[in-house]
Structure 1
Amino acid sequence: MDELKKLLSGIEEVNREVMNNSKNYIDHLSKPIGSLGVLEEIVVKLSGIKGEHIKEIKKKNIVIMCADNGIQESGVSSCPREVTATVTENFVKGTTGVCILSRYYNNDTTVVDIGVDKEFTDPRIINRKIRYGTSNMTKGPAMTREEAIKAIKIGIDIVKELKNQGYDLIGTGEMGVGNTATSAAIISVFSGIDSDLIVGKGSGLTDDGLSHKKAMVKKSIEINKPNKNDVIDVLSKVGGFDIAGLCGVFLGGAIYKVPVVIDGLISSAAAICAKELSSKASGYMFASHLSAEPGAQYAMKTLGLEPMFSLGMRLGEGSGCPIAFGIIESAVFTMNNMDSFNEAGIDKKDYIDIRKQ
């Protein structure tokens, strides 16, 4: 824990002076002030993260954390446990939804086995296995505090490695049968909202199955009594290795000054944990889409972020991130290629062309 505390202490606020300079530059482009809305906000925020007006995105990567969840044995999913391993293997084959979208939007993926109930031989699946899935949280804690901290540090280390490889925009994805149940529990604890309002059908439960899932999530919270003032306690009791790993990815983004994109419900739960560990971390996050899962709106409210789009998606895997990457890149390209008022022959005072700095 001491090492994690040291890393967290190094997180800095985004650079407000650079953000103000970036906004001033954008306000002097040949358009009505604010007329490109969120696209302008994206570039300003990116500049604050990078500490300079951002001119391009060079390399993009989605980190996909894969792990099994013990609560699956309590019937909270329509999928058998083995699906986690199968989809994990399909990620590196490039056949899943996030892989096809990534191919279209030209971003890479990093597949991490942080707790799948299978040994993999494919070297493209990075082995960071803590153990073969968490314990069933309806009977007690999902993991130990030490395991939760280890998972967080794995996520932080992955971001460090990716930054060293030249990636300057990261997305968050996951795979783990039962992880919409763990996510709902985490969001409920931190938001203070009844878990019944947050739990959704996930991979396609019947109405009866949904009722049972709600009961299991509520039971998990009641039995474990997670302390919302202690993030590690919450993660270890009602979380998953995938969520804890993604929490580390968000923290790594803040530590190493790399913007990180949230996908849907599961990565939102991880983002909440990261924000609770360091309030400064949210300055490095972008929300991609509003998931169709009922808990998504509560998660966004807890994070204080606005999603870029809403397409009724609920696949997970990080599938919202490639689309968000496209929006982010279009924003950067537009702000750096429009004429200023001066270039357009319109006099505007107090203009500084920071593209030339």
Structure 2
Amino acid sequence: MNKMPTINTLDDVRQILTELPGPDVEAARAAQTREPQLTKPAGSLGRLEQLAAWTATWQGRYPPRMTTPNAHVFAGNHGVVAQGVSAFPAEVTKQMVANFERGGAAINQICKSIGIGLCVEQMDLDNPTQDFTQNPAMTDTECADAIAFGMNVVDECSDVVCLGEMGIGNTTSAAAICLALYGGSALTWVGPGTGLDKPGIGKKADVIGLGVKLYKPHMHDGLDVMRCLGGRELAAIAGAVIGARLKKVPVLLDGYVSTAAAAVLPSVNKRALDHCKVGHMSQEPGHKLLLEKLGKVALQDHSMRLGEGTGAALAVALLKAAVACHNDMATFAEAGVSDKDAGEKDA
């Protein structure tokens, strides 16, 4: 079992980020060697071929495996909800967590249908973060504790981990994080979230702009951004990304919020998200721009914006198919099928 490093402060997290393990070169080479031997034209399975090789590379083994996928939904409450940035009240977070635990939410059905283990992680729901228009969302210790929690919940036996969230107000934090990291206009990053109308979106943008302006002198990297503008569930997602890397578990991020949470890490280590894929393109307008900034391409686009890890969980089906094709298709030699090179030799 991989023992996680001790974290007491955000400086401890920064140190861990500078020492992240890289890709498994031997596993990658083995995948690249087998792929051209499979009974299909070269490149004909497109991104599925790349996904199989990526899975092996970041699992650190060959052949890759996709029998034990797991999902974590982190739930947190946000003090900034007091500014009227959500169409729903903060108590809905707790109510939805209860729904997850009863098996009544969309993520439950998707995980059940695909064969994904689901864990719901409650992040001190009775104590919302601070309203970031008044004070930083979290102290250094609170943020570090949430990151450490996320690092430790990832099971090293997972073949892939899907990271999702639930938290009324967390699209406000996500948009604020993106504005602080990448600049531009607040309206560029803001969307309807749980269903705001146009005036509500405008108010949300004003709140975000105020928060970013207030803490700009104190935000020197993405971890500072998370501390000042994020939420416990977002910090836990960032921690889970780190923990997964240390435990050789590939990551599927969900939509706008979980991608924004992970986006704080490359400012400390630009390779911090190499073991992450993004499960789907959210309908939150800032997600497309965020993916461009990160150099990521979503695996699917189903016009979804629910959160809960639903888009990440759906992408597990792609990974299962990619790994099955790579591992179980016959080679040209096994099937007695002449490949292109053989035809060229005969000619």
Same fold (TM over 0.5): yes
- Residues 269-289 of structure 1: CA deviation (Å, up to 9, x unaligned): 111123333333212101100
What's the counterpart of residue 5 of structure 2? none
Moved more, 177-186 or 144-153: 144-153
**For residues 212 and 196 of structure 2, what CA distance do their matches in structure 1 show?**
21
- CA offset at residue 199 of structure 1? 0.3
Please show how residues 180-195 of structure 1 align to structure 2 within 5 Å: 180-195=171-186
Selected match of 1:342 from 327, 333, 336: 333
Q: Would you say the 8 A contact 1:151–1:245 is kept in 2?
A: yes
1:175/1:316 contact within 8 Å kept: yes
Cα distance in structure 2, aligned partners of 1:14 and 1:229? 28
Partner of 2:286: 295
Does structure 1 residue 37 correspond to structure 2 residue 46? Answer: yes
The aligned residue for residue 101 of structure 1 is 110
Q: Deviations over 1:244-282 (max 9, x none)?
A: 010001111111110111000110011112333333321
Question: Which residue does the alignment assign to 1:206?
Answer: 197
Backbone CA RMSD of aligned residues: 1.8
Q: Distance in 1 between matches of 2:192 and 2:258?
A: 17
- Deviating runs (4+, > 4 A) in structure 1? 347-350
Q: Give the aligned partner of residue 11 of structure 1.
A: 20
Matched, 1:260 2:269: no
Show structure 1 runs of 5+ residues with no match.
Answer: 118-131, 351-357
Alignment partners' CA distance in 2, 1:54 and 1:228: 43
Residues 124-167 of structure 1: per-residue CA shift (max 9 Å, x gap):
xxxxxxxx0101011221111121111111100111xx22xx32
- Displacement of 1:114 in angstroms is 1.1
Aligned match for 2:302, one of 301, 311, 319: 311
C-alpha deviation, 1:210, in angstroms: 1.0
- SS of 1:289 mapped into structure 2: coil
| 1:235 has 2:187 as partner | no
Matched residues in 2 for 1:60 and 1:297: separation?
Answer: 26
Matches within 5 A, 1:43-192: 43-117=52-126, 132-159=127-154, 162-163=155-156, 166-192=157-183
State the alpha-carbon separation in 1 of the partners of residues 288 and 49 from structure 2: 24
Q: Using the TM superposition, give the Cα deviation of residue 10 of structure 1 relative to its aligned residue in structure 2, in angstroms.
A: 4.0
**Mapped partners of 1:199, 1:226: distance in 2:** 22
Output the CA distance in 1 between the equivalents of 2:61 and 2:117: 25
Alpha-carbon distance change, 347 to 41 in structure 1, aligned in 2, over 3 angstroms: closer
Per the TM alignment, residue 5 of structure 1 is displaced from its structure 2 partner at its CA by 4.3
Aligned to 1:120: none
Q: Secondary structure at the match of 2:272?
A: helix
Shift of 1:35: 1.2
- Provide TM-score, normalisation by structure 1: 0.88
- SS in structure 2 at match of 1:283: coil
Which amino acid counterpart does residue 135 of structure 2 have in structure 1? Answer: G
Identity percentage over the alignment? Answer: 31
Q: Show the counterpart of 2:3.
A: none
User: Is the contact made by 1:134 and 1:240 (CA closer than 8 Å) also made in structure 2?
Assistant: yes
> Distance between the aligned counterparts of 1:283 and 1:54, measured in 2?
19
Counterpart amino acid of 1:205?
A: L
Match of 1:82, as an amino acid?
A: E
Q: Distance in 1 between matches of 2:105 and 2:94?
A: 13
TM-score (norm. length: structure 2): 0.91
How far 1:4 moved relative to its partner?
3.0
AA matched with 1:144: T
Is the 2:59–2:159 contact (alpha carbons within 8 Å) kept by the matching residues of 1? no
For residues 92 and 277 of structure 1, what CA distance do their matches in structure 2 show? 35
Q: Hey, what's the Cα distance between the residues in 2 that align with 1:174 and 1:55?
A: 27
Matches of 1:104 and 1:232 in 2, distance apart? 36
d(CA) in 1 for partners of 2:218, 2:36 = 45
Query: Which residue of the partner structure matches residue 345 of structure 2?
Result: none
CA deviation after TM superposition for structure 1 residue 55, in Å: 3.7
Residue 227 of structure 1: how far off its partner (Å): 5.3
8 Å contact kept, 1:66–1:113: yes
Where does residue 6 of structure 2 map in the other structure?
none
Q: Is the 8 A contact 1:291 1:310 kept in 2?
A: yes
Instruction: Tell me the distance in 1 between the aligned counterparts of 2:50 and 2:220.
Output: 31
How much does 1:56 deviate? 2.3
**Deviation at 1:179?**
0.2
Shift of 1:348: 7.1
User: How many residues in Structure 1 have an aligned counterpart in Structure 2?
Assistant: 332
TM-superposed CA distance for 1:21, in Å, is 2.7
Partners of 1:55 and 1:333 within 8 A in 2? no
CA distances 1:35-67 after superposition (whole Å, capped 9, x unpaired): 111101111111111222234212121111111
SS of the equivalent of 1:52 reads coil
